[in-house]
Copies of this chain bind each other. A is one copy, B any other.
């Protein structure tokens, strides 16, 4: 592979991923705004709706975010009374994040979001099969990047 090809490959894969990421949060934002949520906050809720009562560390591993990002984010969610933050009894170092009634209730309003996102992406020239392949490659890339 020549240097030119390497430049092309890294820039024509990495840069578009970064751009797509920003565009994705923009597509979510009008729907999330109605719930007074940001995209990272929505991700935290998705994780908690699936499994309530997770430590900061568990959320950290699932969301690929460290405590320096998560702690302030979770504090903002606590201020909005979406979640509680409590030191674990078993391990005083850990902080357990649990859903408040408000946080649980928000799930009802959020279930339509994926539908609206899919609708936003509809009418496209991207087949379901292509999406599945894309997701597969993306998973491999993340595994490599995360090493």
Does A25 make an interface contact (CB < 8 A)? yes
A66 to chain B, nearest CB (A): 11
For chain A, give the interface size range. Answer: 35 or more
**Could you mark each residue 23-37 of chain A with 1 if its beta carbon is under 8 Å from any beta carbon of chain B, else 0?**
111111000000000
| Contact A121/B145 with A15-B43, A64-B19 known, Cβ cut-off 8 Å | yes
Copies in the complex: 2
Question: Is A6's CB under 8 angstroms from B137's CB?
Answer: no
Interchain CB contact (< 8 A) of A13 among B13, B111, B115, B134: B134
Interchain CB contact (< 8 A) of A20 among B10, B131, B145: B145
List residues of chain B with CB within 8 A of the CB of A113.
10
Question: Is A6's CB under 8 angstroms from B114's CB?
Answer: yes
A139 to chain B, nearest CB (A): 7
Please measure, in the bound complex, the distance between the C-alpha atom of A19 and the C-alpha atom of B17, giving whole angstroms: 10
Contacts A/B (CB < 8 Å), 28 sampled: A1-B118, A6-B117, A6-B118, A9-B114, A11-B46, A13-B131, A13-B138, A14-B117, A16-B135, A17-B17, A17-B20, A17-B21, A18-B25, A18-B39, A19-B63, A19-B64, A20-B21, A21-B22, A26-B145, A27-B145, A121-B141, A124-B141, A126-B137, A126-B141, A126-B144, A130-B137, A133-B137, A134-B137
A: residues with CB less than 8 A from B are: 1, 3, 6-7, 9-28, 39, 43, 46, 63-65, 111, 113-115, 117-118, 120-121, 124-126, 130-131, 133-135, 137-142, 144-146
